[in-house]
Amino acid sequence: MPNESDSLPPGPLSNPGANATADQIAEIEEARARMAETRRVVAPGLEEVLYTAFPVLDHGFVRVVDYMGDDAAVVQAARVSYGRGTKSVRNDAGLIRYLLRHRHTTPFEMCEIKLHVKLPVFVARQWIRHRTANVNEYSARYSVLDREFYIPAPEHLAAQSAANRQGRGDVLEGDEAARVLQLLRDDAAACYDHYEEMLNEGPDGAPADPGRQGLARELARMNLPLNVYTQWYWKTDLHNLLHFLSLRADAHAQYEIRAYADVMLALTERWVPITAQAFRDYSMGAVSLSAPALAAVRRMIAGETVTQEDSGLSAREWREMMAALER
């Protein structure tokens, strides 16, 4: 895939295939080589990277396996709904921006994307809370998980924030960082060794140790830690994808899921560039002002001096508003 990496935007979409196995790379190459004719709409930017595995974290990846529709499909659906009324909006980009700004979400449900994702189990547990999606996960009841665990890069080894129960503080350093990495690595290795021992499966399906039976896979897996990697096919529509990104490509999201969301956002930009730009303007960079906050802003613009006390906002809301206003 070296020829693709040239055209990739800098940042999240780089180093394709880095976390894929040799088998997967061969399979991906083969799939990418097949071209067929279709009457369906085609998103050229996404076709370029179809099937390609983009690395996330130390062993994970995201790759687009299939898609339906593009920016024009959003417009087409909106014009079915709003009929002649939509012709007054001058162009497709204007219509898409109008729809997103005014929460007319159903036309965005008319595009669909299917991803193959490899991710640590504790990330999968956050992700699955988004219920409006279709999922097929690799089953550890039926199959054996690989010996792959997420070990954070040193720069992501964050301390607990003292100010904020859900946030991260400074990065751990020196001995403390080394000790944490050692514990994570050793416990993962020991747990996996024992998982294999309990399974007692030889390479050919026969018992590794013929004197023992081997514990059922559905039980043995319980010894694996939450940073073990799993994988799934995940399929959703564009509206729900944007909702996922608005929560997970956000500074409040845990770094490990944000790393996936960042790659997904870059893929979304290849797929539906107009929608992705509107999403950046109206959703990611937007701020919601409550009724009392809006009243305070109006007074500020009029030149009044406004204080937290006379704003009717709580101290916390005041801080949040002033942060948004960069004051």
Judged by CB under 8 A, the stretch of 18-26, 54-62, 261-269, 280-288 that binds its own copies is: 280-288
| 204-223 binders of its own copies (CB under 8 A) | 212-219, 221-223
Q: Identify which of residues 11 and 183 has a Cβ nearer to its own copies in the complex.
A: 183
| 55-94 binders of its own copies (CB under 8 A) | 66-69, 73, 76-78, 80-86, 88, 94
Tell me phi and psi for residue 56, to 5 degrees.
-140, 135
For Cα atoms 85, 91, 97, give the angle at the middle one, nearest 5 degrees: 85
Q: Which of 7, 15, 91, 139 binds its own copies (CB under 8 A)?
A: 139
Give the span between the Cα atoms of 262 and 251, in whole angstroms.
11
Judged by CB under 8 A, the stretch of 6-14, 16-24, 232-240, 263-271 that binds its own copies is: 232-240
| 16-55 binders of its own copies (CB under 8 A) | 31-32, 34-42, 47, 50-51
Give the span between the Cα atoms of 159 and 126, in whole angstroms.
20
Q: What count of other Cβ atoms lies within 10 Å of the Cβ of residue 311?
A: 18
Cβ at position 320, least distance to its own copies in Å: 8
Pairing mode, strands 54-56 and 60-68: antiparallel
Q: Output Rg (C-alpha) for the chain, integer angstroms.
A: 24
Tokens describing residue 84: 């002649």
Q: Identify which of residues 6 and 102 has a Cβ nearer to its own copies in the complex.
A: 102
Give the chain's end-to-end CA distance (angstroms, integer): 48
Tell me phi and psi for residue 168, to 5 degrees.
-110, 150
Q: Which of 217, 248, 258, 270 is catalytic?
A: 248
Cβ at position 53, least distance to its own copies in Å: 14
Cβ at position 79, least distance to its own copies in Å: 9
Q: Identify which of residues 25 and 180 has a Cβ nearer to its own copies in the complex.
A: 180
Give the span between the Cα atoms of 222 and 129, in whole angstroms.
21
| 101-130 binders of its own copies (CB under 8 A) | 101, 103, 106-107, 109-110, 112, 114, 116, 120-122, 124-125, 128-129
Q: Which residues contact 185 (CB under 8 A, 6 or more apart)?
A: 149, 151
| 281-320 binders of its own copies (CB under 8 A) | 281-282, 284-292, 294, 297-298, 300-301, 303, 314, 316-317, 320
Pairing mode, strands 112-120 and 229-237: antiparallel
Cβ at position 305, least distance to its own copies in Å: 11
Q: Identify which of residues 221 and 270 has a Cβ nearer to its own copies in the complex.
A: 221
| 165-204 binders of its own copies (CB under 8 A) | 165-170, 172, 176, 180, 183-184, 187, 190-191, 194, 197-199, 201
Residue carrying the six token digits 């159903």: 106
Give the span between the Cα atoms of 24 and 30, in whole angstroms.
10
Q: Which residues contact 287 (CB under 8 A, 6 or more apart)?
A: 324
* 248 part of the active site: yes
Catalytic residue IDs: 248
